[in-house]
Structure 1
Amino acid sequence: MKRPASWNSRLAAAGLAVLMAGALTACGGSGKEASGEGAGAVKLQLKWVPQAQFAGYYVALEKGYYKDEGLSVTIVPGGPDIVPEQQVANGSADIGVDWVASLLAHQEQGLPLVEIAQVYQKSGLVLVSRKSAGIAGPSDLKGKKVGNWMGGNEFELLALFDKYKLNPSKDLQFAKQGFTMDQFLGGELDAASAMTYNEYQVVLEQGIPEAELSVIDMNKEGVGMLEDNLFANKDWLAKNKETAAKFLRASLKGWKDAVEDQEGAVDIVMKSADAASTSRDHQLKMMKEVAKLVAPDGFDIGKLGMIDEEAFRQTAEIALKFGVIQKAADAGTAYTTEIYGMAAK
């Protein structure tokens, strides 16, 4: 299967920008840029605007954990026109946050990037439907209208369809979904894609009780793909291993605090979030769900940020099968555990 046109366009644009903009400084998206004081300067490029999805970094900055490591960290918001891999590859940022599948695709395009830590241990993607739609499980998707944002976000669903022998072109109507939940709420979609920490909460906030909803969890179905990870420019990393380790150590300390004190973490996030487009209540709900992805039930919180080889393998295999990448990913070059090991000392 070929990559969606939007995915190919994104990669092509990224490659061109890397060649033309090597000396540019990072461009922020919507939201406030946050920074601290210290000796070693590090720029972190987020994949989206300031929200609880990235709470650990804001907590580390607010509490001085980066400063304690001798670092001056600037957190640069992302946005719809920001490609974290591009920003890190061209030197506008030193470290970035994005989903693993996206990182693999950009690595295959030749960008000198390597993963250094896996912050989210589970996928946050689910399919949500009203029970009245009669979708108790994946097999019931046959004949239904199922939504997804597409553009690289659909691969877990394609793996789900494949597992249950559903042809998305014949057995169901696979439709492009907007970035709001309006189509689902208005009854245009039988099932809609949602992140547990965002869109699913939007549905609940609209007054639909959980008891009236059915949820298909990609993790439980065995088709979950790893999401938010930390990656660096290989050239920068070769010269700044100690700096990267210090950054990671402080970041994971911030994530530990965020998981254990979610109310406090949200208070910190709200200082950088756009108050006109979100609320503390929504961010708190997001934080509670994000914590479940960063430190799932039974997970040793002392291993925050570890890269699970099996989860990485599953992500890479799905990425290969459905055209995110054209060649099998080489774990030996896609990620390194060296920085994580240094940070743990």
Structure 2
Amino acid sequence: MKTKNVLAILSIILILSAFLSACGNKKEAATSPAPTPKSSAAAATVKPTETPVPSAPTEQVKLKQILDWFPQPTHGGLYAALQKNFYKDAGLDVTLEPGGPQVSATQIVASGKAEFGITGGDVVLQAREEGVPIIAVAALLQDSPAALFFHKGENIKTFEDLNGRKVQALLFAAYWQYVKSAFKLDKVEEINFTGQYANFIADKSSVIQGYITNTPEYLKAQGVEFDYLQVSSSGYAPYMSVIFTTEKFAKEHPETVKAYVEATIKGWNYYKDSAPEIHPAIVAANSSQTVESLNIEAVAQTDFVYGGDAKEHGVGYMTAERWNKLIGQLADTGVLKKKVDASEVFTTEFLPKQ
């Protein structure tokens, strides 16, 4: 009996051991992860719900723009691009440097001390004839706001009526050379324009140059009643406030030029309806002006910036027809020694596509 009891007990122990071993294997199988397919493992490295880590910001390209005069509304779009970070967003670190009577933007850009300049279309042509390899990339003013002002009541109806009078003008300027030649002004007493209006105000028979965008407000403030002959009515109508760079820079850095021009045009489009917002920045750069006077001037220059071909094609637009007409006029009056092809002096490839 004892032997039978022992055998029975051993049998029970063996059965329990087998049972416990089986339970242990089932528990391990339940807690071990299933093998992951290689494709699933690869997909798991980039989870759709995760926010990508931004890459380190690239260094911005430093650029210098030489203005054609002290900061004013004709530079409004550039200051808008600066204030609204349009340049920064384009990867550019832009410095706007004032011009003035002693500043030659063409020489500064040609020397490599700045990447961009602003000047008149006629000055671009004259500079190129002198061997300065610059090229126009945008025309911010579709027409010239230049005019010759005279006291109201004077018998001046046409440019021929300027003969026999004192005329203060920039005597080296191409527009004045054209007007003199086209209207045979051989009896004019020429006085070089210095920016001062005191002598004109005192001498009611005299004539002085100015801009119809800002000179009227100044003369009104002085109590002067006036009228004027707009230079473009003479047939001479160059693009003004032309942005230019060197042929070399445009060829070697086309993406930078395009980014700069597009950001500038974006600034002008913003400035159109938001000029008063930008004017404090211009006053900060040129304290001789007030926000109120700039607001008036911005309205007066609207058609020069956004009218003409710019109405359909956008700010900055230029045509070969206009450039060739200007080239012909300057060649006919002797300002240029020879005619050149317009394709050599301007390009629209960097302007935004409309």
Q: 2:238 aligns with which of 225, 230, 241?
A: 225
Give the match for residue 198 of structure 2. 182
Which residue identity is paired with 1:178? T
Runs of 4+ in 1 over 6 A off after TM superposition: none
- Give me the identity figure in percent: 23
Which structure is richer in relative contact order (CA contacts within 8 A, separation 6 or more)?
A: 1
2:102 matches 1:81: yes
Which residue identity is paired with 2:219? V
Secondary structure of the structure 2 residue equivalent to 1:78: coil
CA distance in 2, matches of 1:142, 1:47: 30
Alignment map for 1:1-345 (pairs within 5 Å): 39-152=60-173, 155-164=174-183, 166=184, 168-170=185-187, 172-187=188-203, 190-208=206-224, 212-273=225-286, 275=287, 277-296=288-307, 299-300=310-311, 303-340=314-351, 343-344=352-353
CA distance in 1, matches of 2:84, 2:103: 27
Q: CA deviation at 1:68?
A: 1.3
Secondary structure of the structure 2 residue equivalent to 1:337: coil
CA distance in 1, matches of 2:328, 2:175: 11
Query: Does the CA-based 8 Å contact 1:183-1:189 persist in structure 2?
Result: no
Query: Does the CA-based 8 Å contact 2:142-2:308 persist in structure 1?
Result: no
Which residue identity is paired with 1:268? A
Query: Does the CA-based 8 Å contact 1:128-1:214 persist in structure 2?
Result: yes
1:276-297 superposed Cα distances (whole Å, 9 cap, x missing partner): x222233223322332211126
CA distance in 2, matches of 1:147, 1:339: 38
For residues 49 and 103 of structure 1, do their structure 2 counterparts lie closer, same or farther at Cα, with a shift above 3 Å needed?
same
Secondary structure of the structure 2 residue equivalent to 1:56: helix
Q: CA deviation at 1:176?
A: 2.4
Which residue identity is paired with 2:214? N
CA distance in 2, matches of 1:226, 1:269: 23
Give unpaired runs (5+ residues) of structure 2: 1-57
Q: CA deviation at 1:140?
A: 2.5
Which residue identity is paired with 1:67? K
Aligned length: 297
Query: Does the CA-based 8 Å contact 1:184-1:192 persist in structure 2?
Result: yes
CA distance in 2, matches of 1:189, 1:92: 44
Query: Does the CA-based 8 Å contact 1:249-1:344 persist in structure 2?
Result: no
Q: CA deviation at 1:189?
A: 5.0
Query: Does the CA-based 8 Å contact 1:43-1:94 persist in structure 2?
Result: yes
For residues 291 and 268 of structure 1, do their structure 2 counterparts lie closer, same or farther at Cα, with a shift above 3 Å needed?
farther
Which residue identity is paired with 2:295? L
Bigger Rg, which one: 2
Q: CA deviation at 1:260?
A: 2.2
For residues 75 and 301 of structure 1, do their structure 2 counterparts lie closer, same or farther at Cα, with a shift above 3 Å needed?
farther
Give unpaired runs (5+ residues) of structure 1: 1-36
Secondary structure of the structure 1 residue equivalent to 2:210: strand
Q: CA deviation at 1:85?
A: 0.8
Give the TM-score of the pair, scaled to structure 1: 0.79
For residues 189 and 262 of structure 1, do their structure 2 counterparts lie closer, same or farther at Cα, with a shift above 3 Å needed?
farther
